[in-house]
Amino acid sequence: MKTITCHCSANEDIDIPELIDIDADPVLFRQLQDGSFLTVICPQCGVTLRPELAVRLKSASRNLDAIVLPELERMAVYRGKADAPKGVEILVGYNELFERARILRDGLEARTVEIIKYYLQGKAEEQEPEADILVLYHGLVDGKLEFHIVGMKSGETGIIRLPRESADKAASGITRQDSRFKNLFSSQYRSIRKLGFLAEDEQD
My answer on whether 46 and 90 are in the same domain is yes
pLDDT tens per residue, range 48-64? 888 888 899 999 999 99
What is the three-class DSSP state of 149?
strand
With 0-12 / 13-18 / 19 or more C-beta atoms within 10 angstroms meaning exposed / middle / buried, residue 11 is exposed
Q: Mark whether 147 and 61 lie in a shared domain.
A: no
b/e per residue, 20-53, with b = 16+ CB within 10 A?
Answer: bebeeeeebbebbbebebbebebeeeeeebebbe
Last residue of a domain, one of 105, 127, 146: 105
Task: Give the other-Cβ count within 10 Å of 124's Cβ.
Answer: 20
Longest dimension (CA), the chain: 55
**Residue numbers of the domain that contains 68:** 1-105
Nearest to 101 by CA among 33, 20, 27: 33
pTM above 0.85, yes or no: yes
Residues 116, 16 share a domain: no
Q: Where does a domain end: 70, 89, 105?
A: 105
How do residues 111-161 score in pLDDT, each as one tens digit? 889 988 988 999 998 988 888 899 999 999 999 999 999 988 777 789 999
**Same domain as 88, residue 124:** no
How would you classify the pairing of strands 48-49 and 40-41? antiparallel
pLDDT at site 203 = 53
